[in-house]
Amino acid sequence: MSMTTMNNDVYRYQAVEKHILGMVENGALQLGEKLPSLRKLSTNLGVSISTVNQAYVELERKGVIESRPRSGFFVKQKAMRLPRTESGPTPMEAPRPVTRIGLIQTVLESVGGTDTNEIPLGVVAPGTPLLPLKELGRITAAMIRDNPERALAYAPIPGDDELIRQIAFRSMELGIPAGPTDPVITAGCMEALYLGMRSITRPGDTVLIQSPTYYCFLQLLETLGLRVIEIPSDPEGGVSPAELAHALKTFDISACILAPNFNNPDASLTPDEAKQEIVRLLAERDIPLVEDDVYTDLHFTPKRPGTYKQFDEKGLVLLCSSFSKTIAPGYRVGWMLPGKFRQKVLEIKATTNVSTSAPGQMAIAEYLRQGRMERQIKRLRNAMETQMDTMQLHLERHFPVGTRVTHPRGGSVLWLELPKQVDSVELFFQARAKSIGIAPGPIFSTQDKFSNYIRLSCGAPWSEQMRQGIETLGGLATELAQK
Amino acid sequence: MSMTTMNNDVYRYQAVEKHILGMVENGALQLGEKLPSLRKLSTNLGVSISTVNQAYVELERKGVIESRPRSGFFVKQKAMRLPRTESGPTPMEAPRPVTRIGLIQTVLESVGGTDTNEIPLGVVAPGTPLLPLKELGRITAAMIRDNPERALAYAPIPGDDELIRQIAFRSMELGIPAGPTDPVITAGCMEALYLGMRSITRPGDTVLIQSPTYYCFLQLLETLGLRVIEIPSDPEGGVSPAELAHALKTFDISACILAPNFNNPDASLTPDEAKQEIVRLLAERDIPLVEDDVYTDLHFTPKRPGTYKQFDEKGLVLLCSSFSKTIAPGYRVGWMLPGKFRQKVLEIKATTNVSTSAPGQMAIAEYLRQGRMERQIKRLRNAMETQMDTMQLHLERHFPVGTRVTHPRGGSVLWLELPKQVDSVELFFQARAKSIGIAPGPIFSTQDKFSNYIRLSCGAPWSEQMRQGIETLGGLATELAQK
């Protein structure tokens, strides 16, 4: 058997496994129901009986199904998919200032904390084994050794020329409109978001966000003295143009900050048609939109989903992204396509840190120039999808009845709804005491929402330690559910 | 003659040269006056006649004095020292918003610009030949190669542990009070200043600054929506506690931003007793002070001048500094001792860029750990003093009558007062057209002041190109003075 055939077979049994999981999730196969026979499924799917058998064995090993002697395979686990949000405009609260920093700060202390034994379910970054450690380390060392002047002298305010060129080129390849000198290099995506929001708002302005939203957005809005309107983010459908239109009619909104794909924490993806309609609605009122495109490269879908930017005709969309979720979180290199706000962005950048650290920019420019990025992203996508699948299976095994979880089409986080009575902040503190890092739901909204939700990161490669962490966490959640 | 003796002689003739220059500057020797005879000065100073002769020959070569056959040496150049500002509280204008960004932006575009042939009299950073290019390049490459995980993963929000330790240790050695975990690492001093000002002010607040002041302070205050009160910065005496007390009584001041030593652009040094009194006056009213300590290491005085921080008993002083003026501008690594505002600083840091780029932090920590810093600073101090001396001599030769220049005791900039009729912004544009970068006076104040002042950087090693640049610039200034 050649390697190619074997790889195909591996692919096939995983496809069968997913097919069955899908049927369990969407209710086509109910708890306790018997699975199709090996022969029947083999015929239906056009794969060998041994491939189906391999998938069933794997699903049994993962605890999703069980075999009963002389009877066949039966569904052992509940369906856990988060349902679609109720449709129709949601009643909205008046704009409110953000006051979440205290709680968020407690959570953030876990990021880069000193507890090196912590099980990293809280930090959203690829685990170090997934980063191109040696490759990028070698390129960085060589670039600094060969170009010490360029490394030690100030980089230009907009960024290293070669990196700007590389990012513009890659953006155009991905269908994101960018002139060759449009990108502005930033200290990670966070600085891009910060520069974007500073450029388009003044203290006291009202900003539209999706809910749940990334807690760092809330921190940013709080430190900038902004007020917030939340519209629902649906795990399946993303942001609804109807909800947005309703909010625009009701409130005086100055700016938006949205994630086009795999929103942190609910991993929701807004369909491209909805993105186009949202950009149109905002353009009617000249309202700028900051978009956080940092997770889009981690799509499990065959095609890369679109961005808001690609529908932007008036220069109102400020696309923000970085290399932190793909190759080098610690280098703090991100970028933005600032549309018509470029001059303002550069003014603020100059008074924040003058320019971005040069060595990281040079190294990443060279990494891109050598064409290494796409292979790394592909590797990461495969790893993330596998890690997410594995974690989902273990969640199903260890979490209390009534738990529901998202099934994202990309990104690296899972969003769990626990039974109503579980206080996720309490769970956060209990987990932290056992060196398990998670993110509790309430930090993802300015309102008293998501008190029984948690976000888990799937960035770290699966390990026995991770399995134990999930088991412990599930045990804690089960205890809280029984209180 | 051994090398040691020769070096001593070199040192001696330079000392004699400085002695004569000092007498010319303070008026002890007037234009056209005869210098002491070789024999007389030799006796007075306790050096050999040949050493005095060497100094006179050098001064003649530089055009400061001239020899007349059979008569001796005579002063050929005018005294050029900037005089002390008039004493007594200065009438102050009401707080005003800052609106200098347009002009400053034009100047900043020269920083890291694409004109690589530009004569760098505008950029305040040591020229690359003065940076430890190979040494730090080698350390950086080795650190990244040997610790790829630490380089690629997020650094902790307050900074790399080892770098924090090293900075705390060096601060304590310099007599600046700092606990072992007090320092917060930032993306250069600019980010430290930004985090400091964000932590202690709200938009609309009034901030006290010295005048002239670093234009990036003004940009920062403008982008933060702050108002400004300017009190005089005297090239000789720095900031006067009486002026400050007067301003505190007259206006509702929320915060201060001051440079303790070698203020950019006038290189003024505030005496330590005045610093102590200023800290006391501010502490009475609980007013926080951000101090920009970035130039103090470049002192030409035997002892490092003090900081405001060392008199701070209430945690109201936020000391900001960086490695940009000593070893690696492009690494963007700075730090602050944030006093009692640490928590707030970290909150804002988290929403600005999460943490500082890791590779530069690691490399600089190792550079400090290997004990290389003090030698580099010493080398830089000597180079800066020599470059400044040389530039002063050439300024005197080429600039129009009536020009006055500071004689700083440290730092790397000279502040020139040109004849009243010279418009320094016009001079800036004319110089830029000839690829000479300078900083025009009006960008250093919110008021319409310093229209006939310019700042010249002495960071780049002296060269024939620099000499030509000064000659061309002097010619342009002379033409403008004759208009």
Whether B81 has a pLDDT exceeding 60, the answer reads: no
Which residue does chain A place closest to B322, by CA atoms? Answer: A353
Note whether B311 and B192 are same-domain residues: yes
Task: Of B190, B185, B176, B417, give the one whose Cα is nearest residue B290.
Answer: B190
pLDDT in the model for residue B395: 93
Q: Which parts of A217-284 are beta strand (E)?
A: 227-232, 255-258
Residues A230 and A284 in one domain: yes
Bridge partners of B416, per DSSP, are B405, B454
- Give the angle subtended at the CA of A54 by the CAs of A51 and A58, to the nearest 5°: 145
Hey, are the CB atoms on B153 and A125 less than 8 Å from each other? yes
Mean pLDDT of B24-50: 79
Structural domain count of chain B: 3
CA distance B239 to B87: 11
Which pLDDT does position B88 carry in this prediction? 52
In this prediction, what percent of chain A has a pLDDT beyond 70? 90
Arithmetic mean of pLDDT, A87-91? 56
Q: Give the pLDDT of residue A356.
A: 96
Any domain includes A91: no
Which residues in chain B have their CB less than 8 angstroms from residue A219's CB?
A: 347, 350-351
Query: Of A321, A349, A373, which residue sits at a domain end?
Result: A373
Least confident of A178-182, B66-70, B96-100, B457-461: B96-100
Q: ipTM, 2 decimals? A: 0.78
* Average pLDDT over all residues of chain B: 88
The per-residue b/e assignment along A366-378, b for 16 or more CB within 10 angstroms, e otherwise, is bbbeeebbeebbe
Give the domain extent around A33: 12-75
Clarify whether residues B237 and B352 are in a common domain. yes
- Strands A255-258, A206-211: pairing is parallel
pLDDT the model gives residue B116 = 57
Q: How far apart are CA A476 and CA A434, in angstroms?
A: 10
Q: Cβ distance A241 to A277 under 8 Å?
A: yes
A197 is a domain residue: yes
The reply to whether B185 and B112 lie within a common domain is: no
C-alpha torsion angle, residues B461, B463, B469, B470 (rounded to 10): 80
A421: which DSSP letter?
T
Ramachandran category for residue B85: left, alpha or beta (phi over 0 → left; psi -120 to 50 → alpha): beta
| pLDDT surpassing 50 at residue A327 | yes
Kind and range of the H or E run holding B18: helix B3-25
HSE-CB for B450 with a 13 A CA cutoff: 23
Report the residue from A112, A144, A324 with minimal CB separation from B140.
Answer: A144
Residues of chain B found within 8 Å of residue A226, distances taken between Cβ atoms = none
Nearest to B238 by CA among B192, B291, B193: B291
Quote the minimal CA–CA distance from A217 to chain B in Å: 8
Contacts of B139 in chain A (CB under 8 A): none
* Residue where a domain stops, chosen among A343, A373, A403: A373
Q: Does A181 or B19 have the greater pLDDT score?
A: A181
Mean local confidence (pLDDT), B413-439: 93
Asked whether residue A4 carries a pLDDT value surpassing 50, the answer given is: no
pLDDT at residue A3 tops 50: no
Q: Indicate which CATH number applies to the domain containing B118.
A: 3.90.1150.10
Contact call for B347 and A223, based on CB within 8 A: yes
Q: How many residues does chain B have?
A: 483
Strand partners, A440: A454
Cα(B473)–Cα(A39) distance, integer angstroms: 90
**Residue B122 binned pLDDT confidence (cut-offs 50, 70, 90):** confident
Residue B197: inside a domain, yes or no? Answer: yes
Has residue B89 been placed in a domain?
A: no
How far is it between the farthest Cα atoms of chain B? 75
What is chain A's mean pLDDT, rounded? Answer: 88
Q: Are residues B169 and B275 in the same domain?
A: yes
Is the residue at A99 inside a domain? no
Note whether A140 contacts B144, CB cutoff 8 Å: yes
Residue A27 in this model has a pLDDT that exceeds 70: no
Which of A355-364, B123-132, B208-217, B373-382 bottoms out in mean pLDDT, i.e. has the lowest?
A: B123-132
Q: What residues of chain B lie within 8 A of the CB of A108, using their CB?
A: 157, 350
Residue B93 has pLDDT above 80, yes or no: no
Q: In this structure, are B360 and B382 located in the same domain? A: no
Residue B6 within a domain: no
Question: Would the CB atoms of B154 and A348 count as touching at under 8 Å?
Answer: no
Contact at CB, B332 and A355, closer than 8 angstroms: yes
Count of all residues that appear for chain A in the document: 483
Residue B141 has pLDDT above 70, yes or no: yes
b/e B272-308 (16+ beta carbons within 10 angstroms → b): bebbbbbbebbbeeebbbbbbbbbbbbbeeeebbbbb
- Mean local confidence (pLDDT), A95-104: 72
- Model pLDDT for residues A207-250, shown as the tens digit of each residue: 999 999 999 899 899 888 899 999 999 988 999 999 999 999 99
Same domain, A218 and A331: yes
Query: Can you give the pLDDT at residue A41?
Result: 82
Q: Are both A204 and A349 inside the same structural domain?
A: yes
Q: What is the pLDDT of residue A73?
A: 86
pLDDT of residue A74: 86
* pLDDT (tens digit per residue) in B225-273: 899 999 999 988 999 999 999 999 999 999 999 999 999 999 999 999 9
The pLDDT of residue A28 is above 80 = no
Phi first, then psi, for residue B316 (nearest 5°) are -90, -10
CATH code, domain with B16: 1.10.10.10
Question: In the predicted model, what is the mean pLDDT of residues A317-340?
Answer: 96
The pLDDT value given to residue A66 = 83
Judge whether A43 lies within some domain. Answer: yes
Confidence band of A8 (pLDDT split at 50, 70, 90): very low
Nearest to A140 by CA among B147, B398, B450: B147
pLDDT at res. B58: 80
- Res A6 pLDDT > 70: no
What pLDDT sits at residue A33? Answer: 84
Q: How confident is the model at residue A56 (pLDDT cuts 50, 70, 90)?
A: confident
CB A46: neighbour CB atoms within 10 A? 8
| A352 and A399 inside one domain | no
Of A242, A215, A240, nearest to A228 by C-alpha is A215
User: Is the pLDDT confidence value at A2 over 50?
Assistant: no
Taking CA–CA distances from B323, the nearest residue in chain A reads A152
Percent composition of chain B: helix, strand, coil (DSSP 3-state, to 5): 45, 15, 40
- What pLDDT is attached to residue B193? 98
CB burial of residue A271 (10 Å; 0-12, 13-18, 19+): middle
A109: confidence class by pLDDT, cuts 50, 70, 90? low
Same domain, B282 and B348: yes
Q: What is the mean pLDDT of residues A82-109?
A: 64
> Is the pLDDT higher at A84 or at B129?
B129
Pairwise CA distance, residues A411 & A261, whole Å: 8
Among A134, A216, A357, select the one facing B187 at the smallest CB separation.
Answer: A357
Question: Are A219 and B350 within 8 A, CB to CB?
Answer: yes
Residue type, B127: G
Domain shared by A256 and A337, yes or no:
yes
Distance CA A340, CA B220 (A): 22
Note whether A356 contacts B332, CB cutoff 8 Å: yes
Higher pLDDT, A322 or A82: A322
Q: Give the mean model confidence (pLDDT) for residues A5-14.
A: 53
Task: Kindly report the nearest CA distance between residue B349 and chain A, in angstroms.
Answer: 10
For residue A387, give the nearest of A269, A264, A470, A266 by alpha carbon: A470
B313 and B275 share one domain: yes
- pLDDT attached to residue A378: 95
Residue B353 to residue A128, Cβ atoms within 8 A: no
Residues of chain B above pLDDT 70, percent:
90
Of B341, B373, B405, the position where a domain reaches its end is B373
Backbone angles phi, psi at A235, to 5 degrees: -55, -30
Give residue B227's pLDDT.
93
Task: Tell me if A464 is assigned to some domain.
Answer: yes
* Residue A474: CB atoms within 10 Å: 18
- In CATH, what number is assigned to the domain containing residue B259? 3.40.640.10
B429 vs B436: CA distance, rounded Å? 9
| Residue A432 to residue A429: CA distance in whole angstroms | 5
